[in-house]
Amino acid sequence: MLDRAQLKYILNPVAFARDLLGLQPDSLQAEVLNSDARRGILCCTRQWGIVHRCGRQSRA
């Protein structure tokens, strides 16, 4: 059985990324995370999402 915290992260992947992974998705990334689509294709620029990865590494 799922508890309230698990259900929160299943229903809100942006909260999962923010609270558990320490990432702050920008508005476009949040839109992708919150999509109800079962499948998707992203055509991203070369450094899409790099800021989060570098920020995460610098805190380590």
Q: What is the percent of the chain where pLDDT is above 90? A: 23
**Residue 23 near residue 52, CB atoms below 8 Å:** yes
Look at residue 52 in the predicted model and tell me its pLDDT.
52
Give the lowest-confidence range in 1-5, 13-17, 28-32, 53-57: 53-57
Domain that holds residue 9: 4-59
Global confidence as pTM: 0.65
Write the Ramachandran bin of 5: left for phi over 0, alpha for psi from -120 to 50, otherwise beta: alpha
Mean pLDDT of 18-29: 88
Distance CA 5, CA 50 (A): 28
Number of domains in the chain: 1
